[in-house]
Amino acid sequence: MLDAITLDQLRTFVAVVDEGSFSAAGRKLRRVQSAVSHAMANLETQLGVQLWDRSTKIPTLTGEGTVLLAAARRICADVDAFKRMAEGFVEGLESSIALAVDALLPVRALVDLCREFSAKFPSVQLRLYTDTLSAVSELVLEGTCQLGVVGPAAQTQGLERQHLSTVRMIPVAAKNHPLAQLQGPVPTQVLAEYVNIVLSERGGSRQTADQGLLSSNVWRVADLHTKHAFLRAGLGWGNMPEHLVQEELASGQLVRLRPAAWGEDQWVLSLSIVYRPDLSKGPATRWLLERMTELCLRDIGPPQPGPSP
């Protein structure tokens, strides 16, 4: 008999509880009260459990009915989610998306993007990779990821490229570093006396050349977190995304340097989204492309002018 229980019976059960009476549930469901009462009686018979205490003027839930109500709500919610999932697939909703992002992308934007995506597309599996430079575009080109976020130095031959945002890179050193004590433009021969900490790829077939070297004394690190920690510790100097070091510049923990070889806007980098030309953009992919742009604008904003000479 349990197999004969219908979704309509469970929805009627929930409606009676939510509306407060059989008659109110009938009005909501556009049925006569007797039809609602009959549906509840049949449900009780099929379950072999009394759901309603009818000894009062208005029937109330029994203890067993209260427990089963929670299960009925879950079943109705699961069926609704099942229907939404099927409707999404009819509209071309992807079953999974893999995204690779460069370390330059603000972490806050990435966290919010993933949180919002999970809420909006609960049926779509999101796989996330973080890497640097051409390693990101290589993941997209080889088909491991559908979308990637890269900087201008990344090799993107064979991929479509769509501008996302801009990131200002600024040279910094810790406040106790000798370079931080210098005023005005710093000659290249002076910078060359100190360790230049740069972000470098771990390897791969599409290796990107080091960027912004003004010293032969170079420490190469594979992630931005390590580079940031080394700079704060006074182990060298190097370029960092402005949005990542704004608070430390304001507090004086880090000091902005002015290499004489570079202009104020020498390192305003363009972040781009890359994907293969044959990518089929379903609803989730289109949402990612649009929302990522909005979050980057929120967390990075337009490039700000540098300080006056």
Q: Give the total number of structural domains in the chain.
A: 2
Q: Is 309 part of any domain?
A: no
**Same-domain status, 142 and 271:** yes
Q: What residues in the chain have per-residue pLDDT under 50? A: 205, 303-309
**Same-domain status, 62 and 178:** no
The amino acid that residue 89 corresponds to is F
Q: Is 82 part of any domain?
A: yes
171-185 per-residue burial string, b: 16 or more CB within 10 A, e: under 16: bbbbeebebbebeee
Q: Please state, in angstroms and rounded to a whole number, the distance separating the CA atoms of residues 132 and 122.
A: 28
pLDDT recorded at residue 309: 33
Q: Is 84 part of any domain?
A: yes
**Same-domain status, 121 and 16:** no
The helix (H) or strand (E) run that includes residue 278 is none
Q: Please state, in angstroms and rounded to a whole number, the distance separating the CA atoms of residues 75 and 64.
A: 17
SS3 at position 251: helix
Q: Is 173 part of any domain?
A: yes
Q: What are phi and psi of 167, to 5 degrees?
A: -125, 125
Q: Is 260 part of any domain?
A: yes
Classify 92 in phi/psi space as left (phi over 0), alpha (psi -120 to 50) or beta: left
pLDDT recorded at residue 211: 58
**Same-domain status, 129 and 24:** no
Q: Is 307 part of any domain?
A: no
**Same-domain status, 148 and 257:** yes
**Same-domain status, 71 and 156:** no
Q: Please state, in angstroms and rounded to a whole number, the distance separating the CA atoms of residues 146 and 140.
A: 6
Q: Does residue 61 contact residue 17 with C-beta atoms inside 8 Å?
A: yes
What CATH number has the domain bearing residue 181?
A: 3.40.190.290
**Same-domain status, 261 and 196:** yes
Which of 90, 105, 130 is where one domain is finished?
Answer: 90
Q: Is 308 part of any domain?
A: no
Nearest-CA neighbor of 84 among 57, 39, 37, 124? 124
Which of 90, 111, 140 is where one domain is finished?
Answer: 90
What CATH number has the domain bearing residue 85?
A: 1.10.10.10
Q: Does residue 32 contact residue 26 with C-beta atoms inside 8 Å?
A: yes
Q: Please state, in angstroms and rounded to a whole number, the distance separating the CA atoms of residues 141 and 151.
A: 15
pLDDT digits (tens, 9 = 90+) for 23-72: 888 888 889 988 888 888 888 888 888 888 888 777 888 888 888 899 88
pLDDT recorded at residue 194: 93
- Paired with 241 in beta bridges are 169
Domain of 192 in residue numbering reads as: 96-302
pLDDT recorded at residue 57: 78
**Same-domain status, 24 and 160:** no
**Same-domain status, 16 and 134:** no
CA separation, residue 198 to residues 83, 109, 263 (Å): 51, 24, 19
Q: Is 265 part of any domain?
A: yes
Which of 34, 63, 90 is where one domain is finished?
Answer: 90
**Same-domain status, 223 and 248:** yes
Q: Does residue 156 contact residue 276 with C-beta atoms inside 8 Å?
A: no
pLDDT recorded at residue 134: 83
pLDDT recorded at residue 307: 41
Residue position matching structure tokens 């018979």: 45
Instruction: Return the beta strands (E) in 175-234 as ranges.
Output: 196-199, 218-221
**Same-domain status, 100 and 85:** no
**Same-domain status, 73 and 186:** no
SS3 at position 186: strand
